[in-house]
Structure 1
Amino acid sequence: MTASLKFAPSHEWVQVNGDGTVTVGISEHAQELLGDVVFVELPEIGQEVTAGTEFSLVESVKAASDIYAPVSGEVVEVNETLDEAPETINESPLDTGWIAKIKLSNESDLDNLMDEAAYKETLD
């Protein structure tokens, strides 16, 4: 993991891209709990999302899990690779398995997220 990632209590991660956008995915821990991912419902480009509300869905052989927006803003890009290869989330949840990029509407949303150390403490 990288120090630039921030985490939500609901196991999503955020990487600040430095251009007013963030990249969002699910944590290593979350993908381990889910097991083999077989489908990802991506949000729509242009969709407005609110921090703490559902914006995506990940289905595995075990369960379907809602993915919550860790920040508010507009979805500006989705990881279309996941349409054909949803298992990318299992293989690389913190890199190529990202779900969406969101243009922040309120940068202070980032203040509500945890750094890696604080997130790991919640898992113990």
Structure 2
Amino acid sequence: MSFDIPDDRQYLESHEWALETDGVVRVGITDFAQDELGDVVFVELPGEGDHLKQEDDLGVIESIKAVSDLYAPVSGEVTAVNEALFDAPELVNEDPFGEGWMLEIDADDTAELEALLTAEAYEDQIA
């Protein structure tokens, strides 16, 4: 099976993606992760203003099959949360790299992104 793995972002081994634009990092889960989870029924995310450290738990995603922790790709302050997911968690399944994004973090240091996987390395991991 082939999964969408955009090469404009970095990936965590735990299947989150990070897309940095002007120091702000948008976070979601990968196409592979949403496929493995099955139908997403609930997402728990931090609030705006919360400060996260790289690799900290940032929330929980629950599907009909499993409950999984979500991890922060970078340290920084949460500046936006995709509140649409609270009413429509299925957006994660339908569009994991678009409308299914989870939150945005004002990164303390975007150099932390260098520790993450490239699209090619992530593809190798899930192969």
Give the fraction of aligned pairs with identical amino acids, expressed as a percent. 43
Are residue 39 (structure 1) and residue 38 (structure 2) matched? no
Q: Which runs of 4+ in 1 moved over 2 A?
A: none
Tell me how far apart the structure 2 counterparts of residues 84 and 13 of structure 1 sit (CA, whole Å): 22
Q: How is 1:8-23 mapped onto 2 (pairs within 5 angstroms)? A: 8-18=12-22, 20-23=23-26
Tell me how far apart the structure 2 counterparts of residues 102 and 120 of structure 1 sit (CA, whole Å): 25
TM-score normalised by L of structure 1 = 0.96
TM-score normalised by L of structure 2 = 0.94
Offset from partner CA, 1:24-52 (integer Å, 9 cap, x none): 00001111111100000021110100111
Over aligned residue pairs, what C-alpha RMSD do you find? 0.8
Gaps of 5+ in 1: none
Counterpart of 2:11? 7
Are residue 55 (structure 1) and residue 54 (structure 2) matched? no
Count the aligned residue pairs: 123
Counterpart of 2:79? 76
Gaps of 5+ in 2: none
